[in-house]
Amino acid sequence: MAIKNFQGSRRQQGTAETTALKVKDYMSTKLITFKPEQSVQEVVEALIKFRISGGPVVNDNNELVGIISEGDCLKHLSESRYYNMPLQQDNVGKRMIKDVETIDGEMDVFDAANKFLQSKRRRFPIIVDGKLAGQISQKDILVAALQLKGENWNSTTKGGA
């Protein structure tokens, strides 16, 4: 008797164990933060000292109120020179980006990678219970991807293969 069709054993759909890589597992929690009343010059000094490209701005309750970046500082430096104004006159509160987009710590890192690509941002803050809990950067996403070391991408994301 001939075998008409042989497909071998199959894994049942949806039963594969998934190991989702969550943003909260790769975010930085030891952050350099700034206050709205700080001078832009203090921020520039901190950016250079700690070799960072920006950071979250928080109030006294550790609630996120903005983000300040190298670009914001460069704009301030350029304008202060153009208008011949001293650097100490402006503070972070006047120069920071106030409309800050955040990421959920439960988000999958590959979804976060897509969000980085769509938004052209370098970092996203993570808020938990109204307070700044951490920040995820593009580099953090690369670290998560590198840890897979060639494993099947689909086996780590929702739905498994």
Q: What is the pLDDT of residue 161?
A: 42
More confident residue, 31 or 155: 31
Q: Specify if 12 maps to a domain.
A: no
More confident residue, 147 or 38: 38
Average pLDDT, the chain: 84
Give the residues across from 136 on adjacent strands. Answer: 124
Number of domains in the chain: 1
* Predicted confidence (pLDDT) per residue in 73-131, tens digit: 999 888 877 666 665 668 999 999 999 999 999 999 999 999 999 998 889 999 999 99
Percent of the chain with pLDDT over 70: 75
Q: Which of 125, 39, 58 is nearest to 47 (CA)?
A: 39
Tokens of 140: 């953090």
Q: What is the pLDDT of residue 160?
A: 46
Q: Specify if 157 maps to a domain.
A: no
Phi, psi of 156 (to 5 degrees): -105, -5
Helix axes 109-119, 138-148, angle to 10 degrees: 140
Per-residue pLDDT, averaged over 120-147, amounts to 93
Q: What is the CATH number of the domain that holds 47?
A: 3.10.580.10
Cα distances (Å, whole numbers) of residue 67 to 49, 53, 90, 134, 161: 18, 11, 15, 13, 39
Domain that holds residue 142: 23-151
Query: In angstroms, rounded to a whole number, what is the distance separating the alpha carbons of residues 76 and 94?
Result: 10
Q: Specify if 17 maps to a domain.
A: no
Cα distances (Å, whole numbers) of residue 56 to 118, 132, 155: 21, 9, 34
The helices-and-strands tally (H runs, E runs) of the chain is 5, 4
Q: Which of 49, 53, 46 is nearest to 139 (CA)?
A: 53
